[in-house]
């Protein structure tokens, strides 16, 4: 049974994230969507809120589960005996950072391979930061986030204004 981990901040989940999750779910027996802490990013949504939104959005994918870690992704992959780390790429600018991270993860856990899934043309420009900015300024984010998560995202961002 091949297990993949798809780590990210998911702050909040976007249609681009969901595209990668669906594609990974078609490739692997088990996919763990991992809300990973990132010291370089201050989260807008709490880790629990992100997990709840992801669970809501992935509920129809039977081989997908959601978890969180404050530690290293490579260590998490060792804990659950994952075979693969899935990373989505939007543009070449993502690749340099993700490639460096893949090399570090391989050093920390040689058993887990990293694979890169390029975003489709409809979501390659999309980021969680862009979603938050558009929403905070009163724009319609309905085309950018899963419908199940939309009301929760709007409510949270609107409350912070």
In a domain, 145, yes or no: no
Provide the domain count of the chain.
Answer: 1
β-pair type (64-69, 30-36) = parallel
**Could you say which of 2, 41, 111, 160 is catalytic?**
41
In a domain, 157, yes or no: no
Q: Which of the pair, 91 or 22, is modelled with greater confidence? A: 22
Is residue 92 scored above 70 in pLDDT?
A: yes
> Is 41 considered catalytic here?
yes
In a domain, 139, yes or no: no
**Could you say which of 23, 123, 128, 132 is catalytic?**
128
**Could you say which of 90, 106, 127, 156 is catalytic?**
90
In a domain, 113, yes or no: yes
Q: What percent of the chain has pLDDT over 70?
A: 99
> Is 17 considered catalytic here?
yes
In a domain, 140, yes or no: no
Is residue 77 scored above 90 in pLDDT?
A: yes
Sequence-distant (6+) residues with CB within 8 A of 35 are 8, 9, 10, 47, 50, 51, 54, 66, 67, 68, 69
Phi-psi region of 35 (alpha: psi -120 to 50; beta: other; left: phi over 0): beta
Cβ contact 92:99 at 8 Å: no
Cβ contact 90:122 at 8 Å: no
Is residue 41 scored above 80 in pLDDT?
A: no
Q: Which two tokens stand for residue 47?
A: 């880790």
Q: Name the maximum alpha-carbon separation found in the chain.
A: 46
Predicted confidence at residue 71, as pLDDT, reads 94
Sequence-distant (6+) residues with CB within 8 A of 85 are 4, 5, 6, 7, 73, 74, 77, 102, 105, 112, 113, 114, 115
The boundaries of the domain holding residue 82 are 3-124
In a domain, 107, yes or no: yes
Work out the average pLDDT over 120-128: 86
Predicted confidence at residue 69, as pLDDT, reads 96
Distance between the two ends of the chain, CA-based, in angstroms? 46
Confidence bin at 37 (pLDDT 50/70/90):
confident
Is residue 133 scored above 90 in pLDDT?
A: yes
> Is 75 considered catalytic here?
no
> Is 128 considered catalytic here?
yes
Average pLDDT, the chain: 93
Which CATH number characterizes residue 15's domain?
3.40.50.620
Work out the average pLDDT over 111-128: 90
Predicted confidence at residue 158, as pLDDT, reads 87
Work out the average pLDDT over 107-130: 92
Predicted confidence at residue 6, as pLDDT, reads 98
Predicted confidence at residue 72, as pLDDT, reads 96
Q: Which of the pair, 66 or 125, is modelled with greater confidence? A: 66
In a domain, 104, yes or no: yes
Q: Write out the DSSP string of 61-113.
A: -TTEEEEEESS-HHHHHHHHT--EEEEEESSHHHHHHHHHHHHHHHHH-TTSE
CB atoms within 10 A of CB 71: 10
**Could you say which of 17, 30, 87, 132 is catalytic?**
17
In a domain, 95, yes or no: yes
Is residue 151 scored above 80 in pLDDT?
A: yes
Confidence bin at 161 (pLDDT 50/70/90):
low
């Amino acid at each position: 049974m091949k297990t993949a981990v798809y780590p990210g901040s998911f702050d909040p989940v976007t249609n681009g994230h969901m595209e990668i999750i669906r594609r990974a779910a078609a490739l692997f027996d088990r996919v763990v969507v991992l809300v990973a802490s990132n010291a370089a990013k201050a989260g807008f949504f709490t880790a629990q809120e992100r997990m709840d939104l992801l669970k809501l959005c992935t509920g129809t994918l039977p081989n997908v589960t959601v978890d969180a870690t404050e530690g290293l992704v490579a260590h998490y992959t060792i804990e659950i005996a994952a075979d693969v780390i899935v990373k989505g790429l939007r543009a070449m600018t993502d690749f340099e950072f993700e490639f460096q991270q893949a090399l570090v993860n391989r050093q920390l856990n040689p058993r887990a391979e990293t694979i890169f899934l390029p975003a489709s043309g409809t979501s390659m420009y999309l980021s969680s930061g862009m979603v938050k900015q558009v929403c905070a300024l009163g724009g319609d984010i309905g085309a950018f986030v899963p419908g199940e998560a939309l009301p929760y995202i709007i409510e949270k961002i609107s409350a912070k204004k």
